[in-house]
Amino acid sequence: NDYRIASIPGDGIGVDVTVEARKVLDAAAAKHGFSLAWNEFDWSCERYTKAGAMMPDDGVDQLAAFDGIFLGAVGFPGVPDHVSLWGLLIPLRRAFQQYVNLRPVRLLPGTTSVLAGRSAEELEMVIVRENSEGEYSAIGGRHNTGRPDEFVLQESVFTRVGVERIIRYAFELARTRSGRVTSATKSNGLIHSMPFWDEIFAEVAAGYPDVRAEQCHVDALAARMVQAPERLDVVVGSNLFGDILSDLAAAVTGGLGMAPSGNINPSGEYPSMFEAVHGSAPDIAGQGIANPVAQILAGAMMLEHLGETVAAQAIRTAVDEVLTAGTELTPDLGGTATTTRLGTAVTKALH
């Protein structure tokens, strides 16, 4: 089997970690009898500063026929973050109906959680974030008077179809895991959107009597993630809530350098896109010391999505082995290895 993959390394450490992840993915493919045909796209903030756009006008069309999209990270000092987000990530997520943002977290061997004493099992969870609507909306505006009466309006958009499909995805996922779903709400403060979300959550839950469903206000849920993570497994939230909770979940387990994510189009009609949760880390860009594990694990998620389950598991096992051995760790993990050395170690550890 041959898969066509569009690679968008982006900016900063996105470039460094993508190189290493591709190395690992190619090696895993060769061992498991398939190959990856990579096409590289230079879409980035760097392109924006030269050409005035993150990607060409027909960018979406150029990617539509690929089997998967592998994204590093975008973001560059001097280019406002809303430009990189709305000029590339959000248009791709929406055009390809990648309405699920999946962020599995687990405590990797050899790493310590800030939650001392918690076992890997207690910390294992997955955040299912709505990825196509909600609070990240361009609707609104600024009443730009420059006087004290100035104000802005920022609208959220929640559709019945959009809310139902993400919640249903979470319930289906829970059936393959612990059988527990927790929904993030805030119906006491957001009196239009969240009661609607809760109502649909209850409707969907009624169709899954075998799954334990509960809802929790997002502030209390954040506290629970730190104080009682063993009570969480599948956590479903809106675009904003899911975004915040998944960074928190990553931070309480192995840290940002270890957390992968997938922007999934469940129907398979369009390509799905895989990336690390972290950004372009301008503070360490160009030094060759970024941790490539998150990007490597994002690659494993991509292979899993393509149906190459055995190769995906082989990559996760190789990462675990290298982290357990502890001799090739990047500075964020307390070691002195470079990005390349850690990538090479994972490649060599593949069975």
Q: Would you name the residues annotated as active-site residues? A: 136, 186, 219, 243, 247
Instruction: Assign residue 138 a region (left: φ > 0; alpha: ψ between -120 and 50; beta: otherwise).
Output: alpha
Smallest distance from ligand NAI to CB 280, Å? 4
CA distance 327 to 131: 38
Q: Which residues lie below 8 Å from residue 59, measured CB to CB, with a gap of 6+?
A: 43, 88, 91, 92
CA distance 242 to 133: 12
Smallest distance from ligand NAI to CB 327, Å? 18
114 or 228: whose CB is closer to ligand NAI?
114
Q: Which residues lie below 8 Å from residue 343, measured CB to CB, with a gap of 6+?
A: 19, 20, 21, 23, 24, 292, 296
Smallest distance from ligand NAI to CB 331, Å? 7
16 binds Mg ion (CB under 5 A): no
Q: List Cα–Cα distances, 148 to 37, 140, 144, 151, 287, in angstroms.
A: 57, 19, 10, 8, 46
Secondary structure class of 74 (helix, strand, coil):
coil
Smallest distance from ligand NAI to CB 127, Å? 15
Q: List Cα–Cα distances, 18 to 28, 71, 132, in angstroms.
A: 15, 8, 25
200 or 298: whose CB is closer to ligand NAI?
298
Q: List Cα–Cα distances, 6 to 18, 199, 284, 302, 342, in angstroms.
A: 12, 39, 25, 12, 24
290 makes contact, choosing from Mg ion, ligand NAI, none, with CB < 5 to 8 Å by partner type, with: ligand NAI
78 or 209: whose CB is closer to ligand NAI?
78
- Could you tell me which stretch among 37-45, 194-202, 239-247, 258-266 binds Mg ion (CB under 5 A)? 239-247
Q: Are the beta carbons of 10 and 73 closer than 8 angstroms? A: yes
242 makes contact, choosing from ligand NAI, Mg ion, none, with CB < 5 to 8 Å by partner type, with: none
233 or 328: whose CB is closer to ligand NAI?
328
Which residues contact ligand NAI (rule: CB under 6 A)? 13, 17, 73-75, 81, 84, 89, 256-257, 275, 278-284, 290-291, 294, 332
Smallest distance from ligand NAI to CB 203, Å? 32
CA distance 217 to 197: 12
215 makes contact, choosing from Mg ion, ligand NAI, none, with CB < 5 to 8 Å by partner type, with: none
243 binds Mg ion (CB under 5 A): yes
73 makes contact, choosing from ligand NAI, Mg ion, none, with CB < 5 to 8 Å by partner type, with: ligand NAI
Written as one string, the DSSP assignment of 217-228 is EHHHHHHHHHH-
181 or 329: whose CB is closer to ligand NAI?
329
Number of residues that bind Mg ion (CB under 5 A): 1
243 makes contact, choosing from ligand NAI, Mg ion, none, with CB < 5 to 8 Å by partner type, with: Mg ion
Secondary structure class of 208 (helix, strand, coil):
coil
**Residues engaged in binding Mg ion (CB under 5 A):** 243
